[in-house]
Structure 1
Amino acid sequence: MISFLSTIVPAFIFVIMSIIIAYKEELGLEKKILIVCISALIQLLILGFIINIIFNLGLFFTFLMIFVMILIASYMIKNEININERSIIFLSSCFSLLFTSTISLLILIYSGIVELKPQYIIPLVGMVIGNSMNSITLCLERLLNDLKSNKDILWGYLALGANDYQAMKPFIRNAIKAALIPQMNRTKTVGLIFIPGAMVGMLLSGADPIRAAEIQIVIMWMILSGTLLSTLITCYLIYKKFMKYV
């Protein structure tokens, strides 16, 4: 407890500094900054306790936790997309995240990169789920907005004899490309502009820098492929539903 307070209390200076700057610049974000920072603290503490318990319970509860993470991520995606039939977004996101997580985990395990242990599985798969969730949300928002603003183009494709898939493919392609830009930029600049979190954590724990770099590049490649696969699957599962809102 003393160690926890000695870390958290001094670090709260960053929060206070952000609040002061927001107040001075009249941004109106003081309350939101405080809320999100306190929320992050509570959530991470709860996560720490849960993971500590799961580490001692075995693989069944590890996979159960991953499934719960997928459900939560799918629920958050569903709430961000403004259509009436949100259940299809939830189900499509669940399937794509589950499929992507499974593929990523199988590659990691059977290639011998990591061991089948909770301390490896939970954080690595969690990275795939979290980044894929953001990319899916960006992709679906872009797809829906593009369809609404360019409906004449869509109707033109259909009038010329294209089927639904052929008419939607250019929109899907542009949406996926836009959603992948943040991850592409992170992958392109890793090691040059910033040191990513996993590598920082390993370096702080005293790991060999070369080993830390090896693990980090595996993670970056895994996340990039995971975001691409999950956005692609989700788009092709729900594109017909989106056509109804054009």
Structure 2
Amino acid sequence: MTITSGRVLVAGATGGTGRRVVDLLRAADGDVVVRAMTRDADSESSLRERGADEVVVGDVLTPDDAARAVDAVDAVVCTLGSSPGIGTLTSDFADGEGTKNLVDAAAAAGVDHFVLVSSLGVGDSAPGMQLGLRLLFRGLGVLPAKARAEAHLRESGVTYTILRPGGLTNADATGDVVVGEGGDTVSGSIPRADVAGLCVASLFTPAAADRTFEVVARRGLRGTPEGVVDIDWQTAPAAARPDPGTEAVEESESAD
């Protein structure tokens, strides 16, 4: 991809982070083609109204649907997430097996770059999530599913960027994030809008290739960060700039 052209699949496009990724890609100058994937046929019209050029209706838990979604795309931004609940104990995870299906399809299709939104609390970033929530999400199987998806992506041969955000909020983007690398690095919260901005910037930032980052907003930082890295992120679209008048509302410690 280049900063002005390419076809990007947004998987999880109806979620809180995925919607913002669609917005940012649509706001970008140039000829970026935005393909959104949803398993809900009723969401197709709203995704098109939001700016998606193409909509694929399918379920990532079905390998054929995943293959259809990645056909002819240059990059994938995967923001799939599972809502914690009793159902997660007895069913496959969109952000586990579903993401693995999407990775396999991307590898087979020769996709250039795969950006995965994971979560603090996964793998060696476990200390970044508060203990009570970590035990809950681990017990429900959400964190292990995300860990398997991360490992599968790293082993796939596809160029990747993995983002592990802290607690997600619906505040406007701050434009000021703390990026750690190495697992036990940062803790805190971050607006979905900031995560979306990093997803888009990762596509055009060579220094982000084949790396895993833990990310929180500076104003949502808890404790003293370790392993902080300075990444020269390529400029995100104007829609990602902060609106200081909006208050943060924390909803979840798990990416959606």
Q: Does TM, normalized by the shorter one, top 0.5? A: no
Q: Scaled by the length of structure 2, what TM-score is found?
A: 0.28
Q: Which is strand-richer, 1 or 2?
A: 2
Which protein is bigger by CA-based radius of gyration? 1
User: Which one has a larger percent helix, Structure 1 or Structure 2?
Assistant: 1
- TM-score, length of structure 1 as denominator length: 0.29
